[in-house]
Amino acid sequence: MTQQPVRIPSDVDREDRILANLTARQLTILAVTGIVLYGAWSLTRDVVPLPVFLIIAVPIGTAAAVLVLGRRDGMSLDRLLLAAICQRLQPRHQVAAPEGVRAAPGWLTSHITTNDTDGTADGSEVSPAALRLPAEGVTDAGVIDLGTDGVAMVAVASTVNFALRTPGEQEALVASFGRYLHSISAPVQILIRAERLDLSRQIRDL
């Protein structure tokens, strides 16, 4: 029995393409838009001329296509729009108060002056809300408790000089890193950051 090679994309989180290189979510958005436009045309074709209906339908269809096919910063525009709406609906002013935040007194909210971007002058949008963090606790060992989502671990590692090692040592380093990646079943994020070298301790020792 011969084994056929299977191509695995470098982005393992990439959604599956169902039809015409589109995902199920993209096909759903396009299908719903098409059904809504066709239903509107079926209901109004006796009273609305076709050119007038196209003037309204074409921008709607174009907007749906742009949301489905467009991308920005590696994210599709429909997901970006949904994230923007969720961010807009969330409280703007959040404070660390797990016990809750009491409403501001009436004599204070009556004297609040805000502009159009901050909200109205009734104090409803400027009142702070309790800050809800996904982490429920952090231990000294770097384990972050995420509640029902499990735990996350944070570790700091130094660098190793790869170029100055022998080919055998380089293969051993790559193999050990590969074994580490194969041993985990959860996602891992590697952050590479350059920092200025501090020689103060070495200078004091001299």
Cα(88)–Cα(117) distance, integer angstroms: 12
Tell me the pLDDT band of 206, cut-offs 50, 70 and 90: confident
Lowest mean pLDDT: which of 28-32, 100-104, 159-163? 100-104
Count of beta carbons in the 10 Å neighbourhood of residue 27: 15
Count of beta carbons in the 10 Å neighbourhood of residue 30: 18
Q: Is it the case that residue 37 has pLDDT exceeding 90?
A: yes
Tell me the pLDDT band of 160, cut-offs 50, 70 and 90: confident
Q: Which residue has the higher pLDDT, 159 or 116?
A: 159
Q: Is it the case that residue 124 has pLDDT exceeding 90?
A: no
Q: Is it the case that residue 58 has pLDDT exceeding 60?
A: yes
Share of the chain above pLDDT 90, in %: 23
Cα(162)–Cα(169) distance, integer angstroms: 9
Using alpha carbons, select from 22, 53, 19, 26 the residue that is nearest to residue 38. Answer: 53
Residues 5-17 have a mean pLDDT of: 72
pLDDT tens digits for range 127-156: 677 777 778 888 888 888 888 888 888 888
Write down the pLDDT at residue 141. 84
Confidence (pTM)? 0.51
| Contacting residues for 127 by C-beta, under 8 A, at least 6 apart | 93, 101, 103, 104, 109
